[in-house]
């Protein structure tokens, strides 16, 4: 779990990031606080590879969620939509985009060299350390990192070739 000064640095970076995106100071403070609460909770159960990257992703998602809630509230107040049909679930487009991305990633993983696939799955999905993977597979941690990098590049290229925008799916 990161030290207190890491959380303070993450909060400061989050506030700069949110203000640069045009968030008013009070909203930036609220989003930064909620983001840190979620990060701290996650750090108790998982190893976080990059606190800052995850913080920015969570903050972006919180902003998007807030905009959606506000849009739903405005529609509700205008009386244009029957609340019975309203859903907090993802839109059909988002579900379909996610399924398409999953299909592309699955196909790409299936075409990867077996060692690269195993290393990538163990690190990214099972959250195993590079050192532990390297010890199990008689490889250096650096070699494990290279397999991960190449695997992620393969996945990104497959998504790009398929025209899948993962930024639109996660947010």
Tell me the pLDDT band of 72, cut-offs 50, 70 and 90.
confident
Contact 97, 105 (CB under 8 A): no
108 with 47, same domain: the answer is no
Angle at Cα 167 formed by Cα 165 and Cα 171, nearest 5°? Answer: 135
33 with 54, same domain: the answer is yes
Contact 148, 119 (CB under 8 A): yes
76 with 16, same domain: the answer is yes
Q: How far apart are CA 123 and CA 125, in angstroms?
A: 6
Q: How many CB atoms lie within 10 A of CB 76?
A: 13
What proportion of the chain, given as a percentage, has pLDDT over 90? 36
More confident residue, 50 or 79: 50
- Write down the pLDDT at residue 98: 82
Question: What's the rounded mean pLDDT across residues 9-26?
Answer: 90
- The dihedral built from the CA positions of residue 77, 80, 85 and 90, taken in this order, carries a sign that is negative
Tell me the pLDDT band of 14, cut-offs 50, 70 and 90.
very high
- Write down the pLDDT at residue 168: 60
- Write down the pLDDT at residue 42: 86
CA 160 to chain centre: 17
- Write down the pLDDT at residue 29: 93
**What pTM does this model have?**
0.48
pLDDT, tens only, 19-62: 998 888 898 999 999 999 988 888 888 888 788 888 888 998 88
Least reliable range by pLDDT among 1-10, 90-99, 107-116, 150-159: 1-10
13 with 80, same domain: the answer is yes
96 with 77, same domain: the answer is no
How large is the angle between the packed helices 4-20 and 25-45, nearest 10 degrees? 140
Q: Which of 131, 125, 159 is nearest to 145 (CA)?
A: 131
Angle at Cα 98 formed by Cα 23 and Cα 69, nearest 5°? Answer: 35
Which of 30, 65, 85 is the last residue in one of the domains? 85
Least reliable range by pLDDT among 29-38, 58-67, 77-86: 77-86
Average of per-residue pLDDT values in the chain? 85
CA 131 to chain centre: 24
We report the CATH number of the domain holding residue 138 as 1.10.10.10
103 with 148, same domain: the answer is yes
pLDDT, tens only, 106-136: 899 999 999 999 999 999 888 899 999 999 9
Domain span holding position 43: 4-85
Categorise residue 79: left if φ over 0, alpha if ψ from -120 to 50, beta otherwise: left
Q: How far apart are CA 8 and CA 10, in angstroms?
A: 5
60 with 42, same domain: the answer is yes
Number of domains in the chain: 2
60 with 81, same domain: the answer is yes
Which of 57, 85, 113 is the last residue in one of the domains? 85
pLDDT above 90 for 76? no
């Amino acid at each position: 779990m990161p030290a207190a000064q890491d959380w303070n640095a993450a909060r400061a970076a989050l506030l700069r990031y949110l203000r640069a995106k045009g968030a008013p100071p009070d909203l930036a403070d609220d989003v930064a606080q909620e983001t840190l609460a979620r990060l701290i909770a996650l750090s108790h159960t998982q190893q976080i590879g990059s606190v800052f990257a995850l913080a920015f992703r969570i903050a972006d998602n919180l902003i998007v969620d807030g905009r959606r809630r506000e849009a739903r509230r405005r529609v509700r107040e205008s009386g244009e939509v029957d609340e019975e049909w309203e859903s907090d679930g993802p839109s059909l487009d988002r579900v379909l985009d996610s399924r398409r991305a999953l299909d592309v990633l699955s196909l790409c993983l299936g075409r990867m060299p077996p060692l690269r696939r195993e290393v990538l799955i163990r690190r990214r999905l099972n959250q195993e350390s590079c050192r532990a993977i390297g010890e199990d597979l008689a490889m250096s941690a650096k070699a494990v990192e290279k397999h991960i990098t190449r695997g992620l590049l393969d996945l990104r290229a497959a998504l790009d070739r398929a025209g899948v925008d993962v930024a639109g799916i996660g947010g």
